[in-house]
Amino acid sequence: MDPAATRSIAQCRVEWTQEGVLKIFVSSDMEGTAGVVDWSQCTPSEPEFAYYRGLLQEEVNAAIEGAAAGGATEFLVNDSHSKMANLRPDALAGRARYLSGRHKPLYMMQGLDASFDGVFFVSYHGSMSGTPATLSHTYNPQAISEVRLGGVVAGESGINALVALGHGVPVVLITGDDTTAAEIEPFCPGIRSAVVKSSVSRFAADSLHPMEARELIHEAARDAVRALPQAAPPHITLPATLTVRFRNPDLAEMATWIAGVVRMDAVTVGLTDEDPIRLYRKFVTVVMLTRGIAE
């Protein structure tokens, strides 16, 4: 999409918005929370999960409260980690609506529509193939080794930005480690980030104290909402192409059973679409299908 066109959409959105209502969509993952460095800490069946779930909840709340301080009035939190039911609804700040549970057609972006003014990615993590990032993966670590969007390595943040583009809504905040913040920049230039930890390896990070992390998220969220009038939807040229490299050729072969998915080499497939939401849905279908044989 022509950047000038997207900017004018962003400006129009401010005028269209119902007087006094400012809506923020929060997609929350878990691996990007300060202090989280291991799968056992973010796997619901593990004993440590209960504690780390609490840290996530406070970071989500810091984002909501920061946004409210910046002028946001309504919030929808789409839980996007594991079984997607990690938060406690009555402990959510801002009287946020809570979209939780599995089999959501638009997965990490379910619930977003053009009535929202901005998107937050909270507790996100780095891509499988990028610079070492705590608990890095791209949707499915058992199946996918790398995804590129328009030739640029994309994590879940870049891929999910396709849905925001489809609705013409800017992505204005990301929280997580340093790698995660850097990876979204090509797709959402100028995005505010709250870097709550610095990754040492896939399973080690130097984290801020949780209180510091929450303060940083609060500030970044407030500033992101205040700057919404200048924000533009994601900068992704359409038609867009996702290139998906798998861990083995069986997975690439299986992905080509989906209409429009083209084999590029033994382990790589390509998907192209001029409609960013349709492209995202096709990618989610690839993820779901290959999950069945990933090992």
Pick the stretch among 21-29, 83-91, 126-134, 178-186 that binds Zn ion (CB under 5 A): 21-29
Smallest distance from Zn ion to CB 29, Å: 4
Asked if 59 is part of the footprint of Zn ion (rule: CB under 5 A), the reply reads no
- Name the residue number minimizing CB distance to Zn ion: 81
User: Dihedral through CA 108, CA 113, CA 118, CA 121, nearest 10?
Assistant: 0
The rounded distance, in Å, linking the Cα atoms of 192 and 195 is 10
Catalytic residue numbers? Answer: 137
Is residue 58 part of the contact set for Zn ion (CB under 5 A)?
no
Single-letter code of the amino acid located at 143: A
Measured from the CB atom, the residue of 120 and 231 that comes closer to Zn ion is 120
- Which positions from 251 through 280 interact with Zn ion, judged by CB under 5 A? none
CA angle (159, 161, 163) in 5-degree steps: 95
Residue 242 and residue 127: Cα distance in Å, rounded?
14
Is 81 a binding residue for Zn ion by CB under 5 A? The answer is yes
Is 2 annotated to bind a ligand? Reply is no
Q: In this chain, which stretch among 64-72, 77-85, 144-152, 264-272 interacts with Zn ion, using CB under 5 A?
A: 77-85
**Of the candidates 174, 191, 169, which has an alpha carbon nearest to the alpha carbon of residue 112?**
169
Q: What single-letter amino acid sits at 198? A: S
Q: Which residues have CB under 8 Å from 52's CB, separation 6+?
A: 30, 33, 35, 36, 41, 42
Among 10, 22, 29, 124, binds Zn ion (CB under 5 A): 29
Q: Which residues are annotated as a binding site for Zn(2+)?
A: 29, 31, 81, 125, 156
Q: Which residues are annotated as a binding site?
A: 29, 31, 81, 125, 156
Contact footprint for Zn ion (CB under 5 A):
29-30, 81
